[in-house]
Amino acid sequence: MSTPTARTPRYELHCHLDGSVRPGTVADLAREQGIALDRPVEDLVVAPAHCGSLTTFLTYIDLPLQVLQTPDALTRAARELVEDWKADGVVYGEARFAPQLHGCHGMTPDEAVRAVTEGLAQGRAATGVGTGLLLCCLRHQTPDESLAVAETALRHRDVVAGLDLAGDEGRFTAPPPPAAGDLARSAGLPCTVHAGEAAGPESMWEAIDVLGARRIGHGVRCTSDPALLNRLRTDKITLEMCPTSNVQTGAVPGLTNHPATPLLADGVPVTISTDTRTTSATTLNTEFALLRQVTAWTSQHEALAQEHAARASFNTQNKQ
């Protein structure tokens, strides 16, 4: 596989911290915390090529979440993610995580945010890679829980670049939590929403019109709706596509069917990310190589996708 070039600085906008912990780090943390592993760690944290559903895919993040319940563990994972970005040719990356999922041993959401912030800062200092931090509300949680995440984000507005709504929109079809989105918008905190992955175009319309999303996580199911495509182009709503993950979860049947290339050619602001570097056993270098091999992706495609990603980043201090 080719290596990234200095001409195409890479931006990663869609990267879940808990799905990107190095397998060796998961093993180290499990050993330190007295968590016995009944199989090789890779079998527990790397999902198969075809999981059949997002629900199955997400089970491979259970163990990383289990070991990320202390500030030190979160700081290490965040620092190592920035180091991995550097090795992947990334000049700016946005890490996202749900701080409310890290309180099993009493860590508060604020402490979790501070721990991840510290790890990102250590990574920046060592590598020069710019970073942004997004906090995730979760579809299966209550509106009050989502509001608490938004409030946490605003308490750390100096380090939190945006808010995300994550989860399986196919299984959890209740109306999204408007209070969290309203609070974020009133404070000028930009939002991205997972949509068009497990459900169809209607979930993307909801993300745009109800939640005010400036970016859509995945969005691969938009191609059947010409009005939606026009809205994405007109309003420059960026799609954070993750080809390997999209195949693993069944959002698309295979890489040859992935819509990133035709959508990019059609003027839709498409970007490419890994989603979960460990769960998907991938890097941006791997994603672009696969697109070149399977979908006739060229260096011009990559350059255009990176232009979109640079423009759509939520941390204005890191835009180039």
Taking alpha carbons only, the member of 140, 138, 136, 142 closest to residue 160 is: 136
Whether 12 is a known active-site residue: answer no
Taking alpha carbons only, the member of 57, 156, 137 closest to residue 97 is: 137
Q: Which residues of 109-140 are buried (b: 16+ CB within 10 A; e: fewer)?
A: bebbbbbbbbbbbbbbeebebbbbbbbbbbbe
Query: What is the CA 113 to chain-centroid distance, rounded?
Result: 16
* Per annotation, catalytic residue among 197, 206, 240, 287: 197
Annotate 166-183 with DSSP letters as a single string: ES-TTT--SPP-HHHHHH
Q: How many CB atoms lie within 10 A of CB 303?
A: 12
CA–CA distance, 320 with 307 (Å, rounded to integer): 9
Catalytic residues: 197
